[in-house]
Amino acid sequence: MKNFSLDIAVLNSKDNLIQLTLHNLTDAPLQDWLLTLDFARFIFPESMSKGHVEQIGTFTKITPSENEVIKAGDYYQITFTIKSAPFTNYECGVREGYISSAQDNFVTHHPLSVSQITLQLPDVKPVDKITTKAADISLIPKVNQLTVQQGQFQLADMLAFTVSCEQAKLASHWLVDELRYAAQLTPATSCDANLEFNFAKSLQAGEYKLTVSDTAIDIEASSESGFIHAVASLLQLVKTDSEGQYFLSCVEVKDKPRFDYRGLMLDCSRHFHSIATVKRLINQMAHFKLNHFHWHFTDDEGWRLEINAFPQLTDIGAWRGPGTALEAQFSHLTEKYGGYYRQAEVKEVIEYAAKRGITVVPEIDIPGHCRAAIKSLPELLVDTDDKSEYRSIQAYTDNVLSPALEGTYQFLDAVIDEVCALFPSPYIHIGADEVPKGVWEKSAKCQALMKAHGYSEEMELQGHLLRHVENRIKSNGKRMFGWEEVKFGDKVSKNTVIFSWISEEAALECVNRGFDVVMQPSKYTYFDIVQDFAPEELGVDWAGTLPLEQAYGYEPLADLKSDDPLREHIMGVQCALWSEVVLTQDRIDHMFFPRLLATAEVAWSATQDKNWGDFCARLQAQKPYFERNKINYRKF
C-alpha cells in the first residue's frame, strides 16, 4: 500500500472546475511538501483555491501555502479551473504523480496511488458493434472492378512464379516474405510458373490487374507500385479451408487508386517507438495500399533523429526527466526517458519501406514545437534579450525559434541539408503549426527585422523564416510540406503542399488560392482520439470522439462537386497517431486498427463504390489477418 493517495474530480464540467484531494495515509505529519504530477490540462494559477502551481507542459508542481501541514491520516484539498475542453474519459486525468519534501531536499520520490477521475458526463449511447456477416471476398480498400469466378486456386507446397520485368521484382520479393509467414509457403522462381508477373504498358502508375483461375495467377502492371498493390490484394485473398489448406477464390480484379498520396503519420517524439515497431507498421500499411509514411521526428518533448552537424540534438534533446534538460512529460516522471534513431537505422527503414512501395517522409517541426532543439543548442537558438510573453497550446513558454537570430539559420540550414541528403523522399515536412500569439513581440532583434522588411505584424516573421526554409529545401531538389499554418505570414510559394488538419474550410481556401493539399482533418483522421463515448475508452478527447463509421464516412472537400477542377489540388488523404498517451506497440495497434482500414478505403476507392455495410462485412473477414499478425485491434 502506498503512503499517499490522490483523488481528482470534475466539480463543474461547464466551468472546467476541478478538485484535487491529497491524502496522507502515514502516521506522521507531512510538511514542506511538493506534489508533482503529470496533468494534461493547463491550470489557471489565479484560480487555485490555495497553494501554488507551476507547469511546464504536463509536468505540474503544486506546493502548499507557507506552513501548511497535512496531519497523519488527514487530507489537503484544492480546487482550480483548467484551460481547454472538459474531461470526458479516465485517461486524461492525472496519469502519474509523487510526493517529495524539503526534509531530504526533495530527493526521495514517494509514489502516489491515483484514483480514477470522477467525471460529470451526460448519458450517451455507445457505438454499435458490427454484427454483419463476414464477406467471402474481403478486399480492403474496395477495388474498382471485381468479378468472382467459379473455383479455387489451391496453394501447393511450392508456388512457382516468373517475373518478366524489373518493375515486378520488389513485389515478388514481398510476396515471398509474406506467404512464408502467412501460409508457410516458400514460392520460388520457375519456368513452369503458375504465378506470372507481366508488364502491361497500357496500365497507369499504381494500376494493376489480377486474375486468379483454378490453375494460374496472373498479375499485370506497368509500375513497381502497381505490382505491389496487386500483391496486397492477392495476400488478402488467401484463406484456409476446413482442413487447414490454403486457397484463393478465382477472381478478376482491375484496380487503381483514387489519390496518389495515401498517408499515415506516426509521432515518435512524444513517445519513442522502436525500429521494429516502425517496420511492423509500415508492412501493415502496404497490406492496405497506403504509400506514404510520415515520420514525426521532432517536437517539444524530444528530438529523435541523429544529426551529425549537431550531436547535441540527440545527446541532450532525445532525453527527458530527472537529470536532463527537459522535464518529464506524459509518463516516466521519476526516470530518464527517451531514445533516438541513428541515421543507419533510418536508412534501414527507408529501404524496408521502399520494398513495399512506401515513401518515408520526414518531419522536422519548426518554428514552434522546438523546445527540445532549443534546450539542446541554447548558444545558437536562445535570444537572451527576448522578453516576449507567450504560452503554447501545450503550455510551454520557450519553444519557438527566433527568426532574427543568425544561429537559427545556421541550425536550420545544416539540419535541412542533412535531412534532404538522408531521405530519398521528394518531400520534407516542416510542421509550422501552433505558433502561439505573443511570440517575438518584445524581442528587439525581431522588431528590427520587421522594420527592415516593412512587416506590420509578427506572424509575417513566421512567413519570413518559412520562405527561407522553403528555398533551402528547394535548393536540395525537394518540395516542402507543412501544416495549414505554414501559409501564415503569406510568404511561402504555391509549391508548398498544405496539410489541412483543423478544418475543411482552411483547405478549401488553400485550393482556391492554388495550393495543393493533403487532407488530414482531426475530426476524421486523428487516431489518438477516442473511438467511443464511454469514459473507459483509451485515447485523448480534445477533438471529440472518432468512431470507425465517422472515419469511414469522410469525403475530402465534400462541398466541391465531383467534377470541380479544384479537386485536382487534392493530392490525397492521411491519418495520424499523436503519441502523448501512446507508449507501446499494443496501444499503436489499438488506436490504428480498425480505423486505419477506413482511411485506406477513403484514400483509394471511388466515392460511389463506398458502402458502410459492405465495408463492415469485408472488415469482419479481416479478423484472421489481425489475429495471425498479433495486432491488438480494438474490438468491433
- Please write down the HEC assignment for all residues of 214-257: CCCEEEEECCHHHHHHHHHHHHHHEEECCCCCEEEEEEEEEECC
DSSP 155-199: --SS-EEEE-SGGGHHHHHHHHHHHHHHSS---EE-SS-SEEEEE
What does the alpha-carbon distance between residue 312 and residue 75 come to, in Å, rounded to a whole number? 44
Alpha helices of 252-388 — where are they, by DSSP H?
275-287, 312-315, 343-354, 371-376, 378-381
Q: What is the dihedral of CA 605, 606, 607, 611, to 10 degrees?
A: -50
Give the 3-state secondary structure percentages of the chain, helix then strand then coil, rounded to 5. Answer: 30, 25, 45
At position 260, the amino acid (one-letter code) is D
Closest CA to 356 of 220, 258, 236, 224: 224
How far is C-alpha 338 from the geometric centre of its chain's CA atoms?
A: 18
- Please write down the HEC assignment for all residues of 337-359: EECCECHHHHHHHHHHHHCCCCE
Closest CA to 58 of 94, 90, 91: 94
What angle, rounded to 10 degrees, do the helices at 585-592 and 595-604 form?
A: 50
Q: Are 424 and 361 in contact (CB under 8 A)?
A: no
What does the alpha-carbon distance between residue 3 and residue 72 come to, in Å, rounded to a whole number? 10
Q: Is 41 helix (H, G, I), strand (E, B) or coil?
A: coil
What does the alpha-carbon distance between residue 586 and residue 277 come to, in Å, rounded to a whole number? 10
What does the alpha-carbon distance between residue 391 and residue 334 come to, in Å, rounded to a whole number? 25
How far is the CA of 340 from the CAs of 85, 105, 326, 422, 635, in angstroms?
Answer: 32, 32, 15, 15, 32
Q: Are 580 and 528 in contact (CB under 8 A)?
A: yes
In this structure, what DSSP letter does residue 370 have? -
H helix and E strand count, the chain: 17, 28
What does the alpha-carbon distance between residue 507 and residue 500 come to, in Å, rounded to a whole number? 6
Q: Catalytic residues, which ones?
A: 299, 369, 434
At position 239, the amino acid (one-letter code) is K
Cβ–Cβ contacts within 10 Å for residue 368, how many? Answer: 26
